[in-house]
Amino acid sequence: MKILVTGGGGYIGSVLVPYLLNHGYEVVVLDKFYFGEDKLNINSDKLKIIKDDIRFFKKEILEDIDTIVDLAALSNDPTGELDPIKTWSINYLGRYRVATLGKLMGVKKYILASSCSVYGFQNEIVKEDSPTNPLTTYAKANLKAEEDILPYANDNFTVVILRFATVYGFSPRMRFDLAINGMVKGFFKNGKIPILRDGTQYRPFVHVKDVCKAIMLTIEASKDLVNKQIFNVGSNEQNYQIFKLAQEVAEAIGIPFKYEWYGFPDHRSYRVDFSKIQKILKFKPDYTPRDGAIEVWEALKSGKVDPDDPQTITVNWYKKLLEDGVMV
């Protein structure tokens, strides 16, 4: 089976691509590589890398592709607000184009990487059919892509939406603008965990390797199980209030719990039900926030990742690219 991974050089993609190769798949990566091509330093005759943009690539690269995993996007809320028009052009129009061309070229399955951020603020625990409440450009573009791509599904073109919880864990394209990873970095650099005010907000979490596991289960699932379906990706046990999560991270890496507040009070708060993916795809995560915190801590201590690498804060890196005149 041949799989196209858009955004294959990103935080999830640079873990997913070797994961799929190790499971015997042929992989084609389509990415602009704004964060460098070295994140996919893989020597495999089953891997093909195409440096291009989802908004402009030629449809011919989709010939003989069986499944598209569409990860390419400007990631996270701060980056989305940096240039909202650009965010809409990539995260909505770009992905809509990928799905449209995929269907045109006879691709059998399309998997859209969306986000639980589409739930925004919710008092109740939300399921896939709960009302959405996107509060940011990033979340709104995700939801619009979902709404316009899902109707493409038919007997010949399977469409699946995966709404990821907040991801954590080590990746070759490391990110410290994700909650757990950022907490560990704060401890490593300053002996304190930075906590976004006021700490009572809820978030669901999932390890990046478990995201890859969920994607592969979706790839392998029969059309009858997943076509025109939305799945929250995570686990009920990993819905955390941010302050309590920080305490658990500190305990996991064996550091006295010290913290400092930052930012304005977070208006996003949501708890998510993940029963559907567990029931239908038999998905169960292998990793916990404790595992992820230890993994990132060890990567920092060993020098495997540089805490001061400017690429690890997405919005700052895009600002630098724009200042340098790079066309994003």
Tens digits of residue pLDDT in 36-82? 999 898 999 999 999 999 999 999 999 999 999 999 999 988 899 98
What pLDDT score does 322 carry?
Answer: 83
Q: Is residue 274 part of a domain?
A: yes
Whole-prediction pTM: 0.96
What pLDDT score does 159 carry?
Answer: 98
What pLDDT score does 196 carry?
Answer: 86
For residue 110, give every residue at least 6 positions away whose Cβ sits within 8 Å of its Cβ, in sequence order, or none.
67, 68, 70, 98, 99, 102, 103, 149, 152, 157, 158, 159, 160
Mean pLDDT computed over 115-124: 94
Mean pLDDT computed over 315-323: 89
Task: Render pLDDT for 256-306 as a digit per residue (tens, 0 to 9).
Answer: 999 999 888 888 899 999 999 999 999 999 999 999 999 999 999 999 999
Type and span of the H or E element at 140 = helix 137-149
121 in helix, strand or coil?
A: strand
What pLDDT score does 76 carry?
Answer: 87
Quote the CA–CA distance of 40 and 49 in Å, as a whole number.
9
Q: Is residue 295 part of a domain?
A: no
Q: Is residue 190 part of a domain?
A: no
Quote the CA–CA distance of 133 and 118 in Å, as a whole number.
6
Q: Is residue 54 part of a domain?
A: yes
Q: How many CB atoms lie within 10 A of CB 225?
A: 14
Strand partners, 193: 259
Kindly tell me if the per-residue pLDDT of 122 is higher than 80: yes
Q: Is residue 85 part of a domain?
A: yes
Q: Are 36 and 59 in contact (CB under 8 A)?
A: no
**Distance spanning both ends of the chain, measured CA to CA:** 32
CA distances from 16 to 5, 209, 225 (A): 9, 8, 22
133 in helix, strand or coil?
A: coil
- Which of these, 17, 62, 10, lies nearest to 33 by C-alpha position? 10
Give the residue numbers spanning the domain of 96.
2-170+205-237+269-287+313-323
231 in helix, strand or coil?
A: strand
Kindly tell me if the per-residue pLDDT of 194 is higher than 90: no
Q: Is residue 255 part of a domain?
A: no
Q: Are strands 269-272 and 109-115 parallel, antiparallel or unpaired?
A: unpaired
For residue 47, give every residue at least 6 positions away whose Cβ sits within 8 Å of its Cβ, in sequence order, or none.
17, 21, 26, 27, 28, 29, 40
**E-state strands within 102-222:** 109-115, 121-126, 158-164, 166-168, 193-196, 202-207
77 in helix, strand or coil?
A: helix
Q: What is the mean pLDDT of the chain?
A: 96
CATH number at residue 14: 3.40.50.720
What pLDDT score does 288 carry?
Answer: 98
Residue 326 pLDDT class (50, 70, 90 cuts): confident
Counted domains in the chain? 1
Q: Is residue 19 part of a domain?
A: yes
Q: Are 258 and 321 in contact (CB under 8 A)?
A: no
CA distances from 80 to 77, 148, 267, 314, 317 (A): 5, 20, 16, 10, 13
